[in-house]
Amino acid sequence: MRTRYLVFGLAALICSVGNVGATENAPPVPVFTEETATSGVDSVYAGDWQYMVGGGAASFDCNDDAFPDLLLAGGEAPANFYRNASTRGGPLRFEAETSGLELAGMTGAYPLDIDSDGNVDLVLLRVGENVVMRGLGGCRFERANEEWAFDGGDAWSTAFSATWEKGAEWPTLAVGNYIDREQEMSPWGSCTDNWLHRPLATERRFQPPLALKPSYCPLSILFTDWNRSGTPSLRVSNDREYYEGGQEQMWKIEPGKMPVLYTEEEGWKYLRIWGMGIASYDLDADGYPEYFLTSMADNKLQSLAAAPAGGPAKPSYADIAFARGVTAHRPYMGDDLRPSTGWHTQFEDVNNDGLTDLFIAKGNVDSMPDFALKDPNNLLLQSADGKFVEVGDKAGVASVAVARGAAMADFNLDGLVDLVVVNRREKAQIWRNTSENAGGWIEVRLQQTGANRDAVGAWIEVRCDETGVMRREITVGGGHAGGQHGAWHLGLGDATKVEIRVLWPDGTAGDWQAVAPNELYLVERDQPARKLLAEQ
């Protein structure tokens, strides 16, 4: 029964910048306690060359208990599914179960409710055929390629995103593909086509995939409404190691039209990086998302070069990573100071101070001697002045295992964002956020009737103490080879008066409604927000 759901919510931004637990204006340092050994998670991302990228983690609730369950890619080994057996506020406990998702050859996985039946489905990215898995409820899944006419192809798939185009009953899926794995002696310049799986007009099935030409070996893609037009575009972060003549890309994907790339004439700036992961968040509360792009050595934080005063935004971005202190270009601890290699990245408020923080999974590609071999994960806390401060070591997440994918979610529903990281050739690691100095929070799950039940493309807005509004775009995609589904978390700082509203994917703005801090809410369209935990 759906009302059993707990709903939780969202990450925070500029809500209350009250220095909850802070000392001398520094953001409060969270405490993460590693519970890998006792958690039941023992997954390894295995394999050689074809698994040097990927290693995604997907978190989603597949049994309606609100606790996020996990699927961790296994590379050449079968993936591992873990049902979340944690109790609220307790240690993290996961139980490996057979769900139907345990396929070998998996690089990553993204959860979404494709058929809008209330059971989360998954898209499994693989070296070989991609597979869509229909959720049956109770954490059971079955292959749906044939029934949904999904052509899984035979490529080295490394990136995924999804959207519901305006008026569509069925999602549009984008798959990013890497190099031609058969090209052993000359793999460079062999990027294979990315695919756009659009729905049939009259059936709940997919059309044959459309090749997005040119394709430049993406390791992360994201449908995002960068200009607040109401129609998300597809950002593509490409690995310059393999393309020729390539660059970062953004596709205009408009209903009923062929995809078109944004051009230099329109303002798109030539940028070439080892694109590996995308995280997005409206950091400066101007209504437009910033984008963090992981790479090797310096990472990028992009903000619209000129936020429009009235007219349409131009797709020109300024790199503000250096100014904001998030270049994260080399290890910040230990004696290995060679350049870093960044992979999964995600914005979440880990100390609930109302300012969104940034996690980056780090790890050498494969013993590359010019890059750090002991490359600690980053946890960068945002300060009130917008700059970020590294606290990975102080917070306890500075593992130097060779990381790839990760997922940040509230695994034990205590209002604190926890962390799981997939490592290459080593066991995954999981940390419980055990901070005692964190601020308030809210977690929100969205729901609407009909297609796109989870309201992908919506924006959640939170207003604290009648001051600024922070907002979060609901997306499927980005990160590195894995995504999250379910409740969205926002830190509230020490705010006491909290209001939320939802801008639904069709552009309709819900009403502002008062909510209590430190609660998990379900926000159904045209309904008052409901506490979910209280119903249990």
Partner 1 sequence: MSRIRRIGAMTLIVAAAWLAAGQAQAGPARPGPQDVVRGWYKMVLELVRHTPTYSPPVASRSFAYIGVTAYEAAAGGTGLQSLAGQLNGLTALPQREAGGAYDEAVVVNAAIAATVQGLFANTGPTGQRALAAMARKTGGDVTLGLADDVVARSQARGNAIAAHILEWSKDDGGQAVENMGFPMEFKLTPGPAHWVPTSLVAQQQTPLLPDWGSNRTFAMPDGAACGLPPPPSYSEEPNSAFYNEAVDVFDAVNGLTAEQREIARFWSDDPMLSPTPPGHWLSIALEVLEREEADAELTVDTMARLGVALADAFIGCWDAKFKYDLVRPITYIRRLIDPKWDAILITPPFPEYPSGHSTQSGAAAAVLAGIFGENFAFEDSTHVRDGLPPRKFASFWAAAEEAGISRLYGGIHFRSAIDLGLEQGKCVGAYASALRTRN
* Distance (Å) of CA 243 to CA 179, 180, 219, 413: 9, 11, 12, 43
Q: How many residues bind partner 1 (CB under 8 A)?
A: 34
Task: Give the nearer residue to partner 1 in terms of CB position, either 260 or 318.
Answer: 318
Residue 321 vs 476, nearer CB to partner 1: 321
Which one among 136, 365, 373, 384 touches partner 1, defined by CB under 8 A? 365
Residue 466 and residue 156: Cα distance in Å, rounded? 49
Q: What are 294's two structure tokens?
A: 């992981």
Rank residues 90 and 188 by Cβ distance to partner 1 and give the closer one. Answer: 188
Min dist CB 264 to partner 1, Å, is: 11
Binding characters for partner 1, 267-296, by CB under 8 A (x = yes): -----x-----------------------x
C-alpha 429/C-alpha 406 separation (Å) is 9
Q: Is 423 in the site for partner 1 (CB under 8 A)?
A: no
Residues in Cβ contact with 149 at an 8 Å cutoff, skipping those fewer than 6 apart: 200, 205, 206, 207
Q: Find out whether the peptide bond into 505 is cis, omega within 30 degrees of 0.
A: no
Q: How far is the CB of 317 from partner 1 (least distance, A)?
A: 12
* Chain residues 320-359 in contact with partner 1, contact rule CB under 8 A: 321-323, 327, 329-330, 337-339
Three-class HEC string of 325-340: CCCCCCCCCCCCCCCC
| Residue 245 or 311 with smaller CB distance to partner 1 | 245
Q: Which is nearer to partner 1, 65 or 319 (CB)?
A: 319
Rule CB under 8 A: is residue 425 a binding residue for partner 1? no
Residue 225 has which token pair? 């409404």
Cβ at position 305, least distance to partner 1 in Å: 12
CB 132 within 8 A of CB 141: no
Residue 153, class by beta-carbon neighbours within 10 Å (0-12 exposed, 13-18 middle, 19+ buried)?
Answer: middle
Q: Strand, coil or helix: what is 169?
A: coil
Q: Is 4 helix (H, G, I), strand (E, B) or coil?
A: helix
**CB-based contact 301:291 (threshold 8 Å):** yes
186 binds partner 1 (CB under 8 A): yes
When asked if residue 298 is in the footprint of partner 1 (CB under 8 A), the reply is yes
Among 146, 182, 184, 335, which residue sits at the site for partner 1 (rule: CB under 8 A)? 184
Q: Which is nearer to partner 1, 76 or 97 (CB)?
A: 76
The whole-angstrom separation of Cα 56 and Cα 160 is: 11
Neighbours of 202 (CB within 10 A): 7
Longest alpha-carbon distance in the chain: 62
> SS in 3 state form for 171-199?
CEEEEEECECCCCCCCCCCCECCEEEECE
Across the beta sheet with 513-515, what order do the strands follow?
Answer: 469-473, 459-464, 498-503, 513-515
- Considering the complex, state which of residue 190 and residue 437 has its C-beta at the smaller distance from partner 1: 190
- Window contacting partner 1 (CB under 8 A); options: 314-322, 441-449, 482-490, 511-519: 314-322
Cα 420 to Cα 429: distance, rounded to the nearest angstrom: 6
Query: Using the rule CB under 8 A, is 1 a contact of partner 1?
Result: no
Of 129 and 298, CB closest to partner 1:
298
198 vs 186: CA distance, rounded Å: 33
Q: Which stretch binds partner 1 (CB under 8 A): 35-43, 185-193, 217-225, 446-454?
A: 185-193
Nearer to partner 1, 346 or 364 (CB): 364
Complex with partner 1: residue 187 or 386, whichever CB lies closer: 187
Q: C-beta of 422: minimal distance to partner 1 in Å?
A: 18
Residues 357 and 349: their CA atoms lie apart, in Å, by 5
Residues 210 to 249 in contact with partner 1, rule: CB under 8 A: 240-242, 244-245
Site for partner 1 contains 261 (CB under 8 A): no
Quote the tokens at residue 357.
Answer: 């923080």
Query: What is the spatial distance between Cα 17 and Cα 27, in angstroms, rounded to a whole number?
Result: 10
Rounded to whole angstroms, the Cα distance separating 114 from 116 reads 6
Among positions 1, 185, 309, 436, the unique one binding partner 1 when judged by CB under 8 A: 185
Q: Which of residues 49-88 bind partner 1 (CB under 8 A)?
A: 49, 52
Nearer CB in complex with partner 1: 110/371: 371
252 binds partner 1 per the rule CB under 8 A: no
Q: Binding of partner 1 at residue 465 (CB under 8 A)?
A: no
366 binds partner 1 (CB under 8 A): yes
Q: Kindly tell me which of 102 and 336 has the beta carbon lying closer to partner 1.
A: 336
> 368 to 387, contacts with partner 1 by CB under 8 A?
368-371
> What residues make contact with partner 1 under the rule CB under 8 A?
49, 52, 184-189, 240-242, 244-245, 272, 296-298, 319, 321-323, 327, 329-330, 337-339, 365-371
